[in-house]
Amino acid sequence: MRTVNAIAATSATDPLVRTTIERRDLGPHDVLIEIRYAGICHSDIHTVRGEWGDVAYPLTVGHEIVGQVAEVGREVTGHAVGDRVGVGCMVNSCRECENCRAGQEQYCLNGNTGTYASVDRDGTVTQGGYSTHIVVDADFVLRVPENIPYEKAAPLLCAGITTYSPLAHWNAGPGKKVAVVGLGGLGHMAVKIAVAMGADVTVLSQTLGKKDDGLAFGARDYQATGDPATFEALRNSFDLIINTVSAPIDMAAYLGLLRLDGTLVSVGAPPQPLPVPVFALFGNRRSFAGSSIGGIAETQQMLDFCAERGIAPDVEVIGADAVNEAYERVLRSDVRYRFVIDVDSLR
Ligand SMILES: [Zn+2]
Ligand SMILES: [Zn+2]
């Protein structure tokens, strides 16, 4: 075991504090990563506050992790000391079920092991990336291409893959009209990736407050959902809508924006069920779908795609002591567009 510096939540209501946590000894298939940056995802906040179920405290969260390899187990061949690497939302899966064998570990039928707040194979609770080091099975470690700066690579491990996967699956590309609902951490990556894939992208946001940013990210159009005329004007328009909003939306109104065979995919997770009027699906043979992160191979593909196309998130780098304030700002949607913790501030 090694003891490393970290930031942890001690209860659902108290601020996060500096502490130390234990990392397991390196197994033959493990990689020890010296973490450089960790992104702050909205899921981190839901989890530490117990909003997605009970968790064991103290808990260190963070699943947008980048750094360099500090040590490898004796059977590791794909990663070497000094390599730039990343870890996303999961650190293991059963590897035997139908979905794992198909390279869709995120949908492991036996449940993938989350990067934090999950029970690991050794029975301990996994602890995330707001810490100086992490030990991860080599098969769940990604290569971070040289030309993506470390701090900008971090959010790709959750926000990037969560939006890339449905865009790729539903064939966003030339000739396709894609709408992105919400321009936050996920939404701004969805816009950049869909534009790079060649799609014609529209941002649907409550107000026009971030219109300049949306157009700068490559969107061709930007409309306010607070204005009912938007839903009239854009009726039957889109092949694909990526909904990144974690609050309930008027499903009939949004489904009405889809053209023939269009799909509305939710990657945002409102806590309450979304009522879907079936008649809104009949028209234009529409679909309503969900999508969760991406497999390991696909996550590598996303990182390589972003490096090749020169796409990266817009980030605000903060020190470890600013995390509590950053959480408050995330909850107010006051971040452009992802907070990333400089983990050197924890050393
Ligand atoms: Zn996340
Ligand atoms: Zn599995």
Digit-by-digit pLDDT tens for the chain (347 residues) are 899 999 999 999 999 999 999 999 999 999 999 999 999 999 999 999 998 899 999 999 999 999 999 999 999 999 999 999 999 999 999 999 999 999 999 999 999 999 999 998 888 999 999 999 999 999 999 999 999 999 999 999 999 999 999 999 999 999 999 999 999 999 999 999 999 999 999 999 999 999 999 999 999 999 999 999 999 999 999 999 999 998 899 999 999 999 999 999 999 888 788 899 999 999 999 999 999 999 999 999 999 999 999 999 999 999 999 999 999 999 999 999 999 999 999 99
Residue with tokens 């029970």: 119
CB-proximal residues (5 Å) to ion ligand 1: 41, 43, 158
Whole-number Å distance, alpha carbon 283 to ligand 1 midpoint, is 34
* Residue (of 297, 245, 252, 289) closest to 271 by Cα position: 245
Which residues make beta-bridge pairs with 177?
200
Closest ligand to residue 103's CA: 2
Q: What is the pLDDT of residue 52?
A: 87
- Tell me the CA–centroid distance for residue 52 and ligand 2, in Å: 22
What pTM was computed for the model?
0.97
Tell me whether residue 56 is exposed, middle or buried, using C-beta atoms within 10 angstroms of its C-beta: 0 to 12, 13 to 18, 19 or more: exposed
CA distance 3 to 24: 9
Measure the N-to-C terminal CA separation of the chain; round to a whole number of Å: 18
| Residues around ligand 2, an ion, CB closer than 5 A | 93-94, 97, 100, 108, 110
293: left (phi over 0), alpha (psi -120 to 50) or beta: left
Nearest bound ligand to the CA of residue 295: 2
d(CA 4, CA 2): 6
